[in-house]
Amino acid sequence: MRDLPTGHHGYSLLELLFVVTIILIIAAIAVPRFLKTKYSANEVSAANSLRQINTANANYSAHFNIGYAGSLAQLGPATAGCTGGESACADLLDSVLSGTALSLAQPVKSGYRFTYYAPSGTPTTAAPNGTYAVVATPTIPGNTGVSTFCIDNRGAVYRDTSGTQTTAAPGGCAASWPVGPSIGPI
């Protein structure tokens, strides 16, 4: 610092530029790490949400004897046309993950969109759903997440680290998800 004519002290332009440069270097290191941490957390949330769906679907199948649910909304809480505890609104998932909070066919949670596949949208005892699959894809690939995930009635969560697999079949994940070093149960 140097003395100013009035007796006040100030910083030189060189000192200020040095401080700004240090701040920019720290930001250049921290921001990418923050973003990677953010989408890693979203990916963990997506995999855990798929496990919750799998558990809810197993309970649904055991309780209602019509196989697996026909939609995520059927696993969710009561809505206007449903009193709760019945196969149309089993109350086994929260309203966000089941899509009933905003009446979404494809619910969004923690930066991931969940798409449900089942043989029948309205299973019955005569025609139960013996299979299902759910795929979790990032809402903004590369920003909210990179990997895509899939789970089916077998209970394994599959992960595609390239993010190219975005669909499944009502029969499960294995038919449309490749097997290789970037994909496998987690």
- List strands edge to edge, sheet with 112-117: 108-109, 112-117, 133-138, 148-152, 157-160, 183-185
Least confident stretch, 4-8, 34-38, 85-89, 162-166 = 4-8
Return d(Cα 11, Cα 79) in angstroms, integer.
64
Model confidence at 8, in pLDDT bands (50, 70, 90)?
A: low
pLDDT tens track for 9-46: 778 888 888 888 888 888 788 777 777 778 889 999 99
CA distances from 157 to 22, 134, 147, 172 (A): 43, 10, 12, 11
Percent of the chain with pLDDT over 70: 89
Q: What is the per-residue pLDDT for 42?
A: 93
Domain extents in the chain: 11-185
pLDDT tens track for 114-162: 999 999 999 999 999 999 999 999 999 988 998 999 999 999 899 988 8
Q: What is the per-residue pLDDT for 168?
A: 92
In the predicted model, what is the mean pLDDT of the chain?
A: 85
And the tokens for 96?
Answer: 């966000």
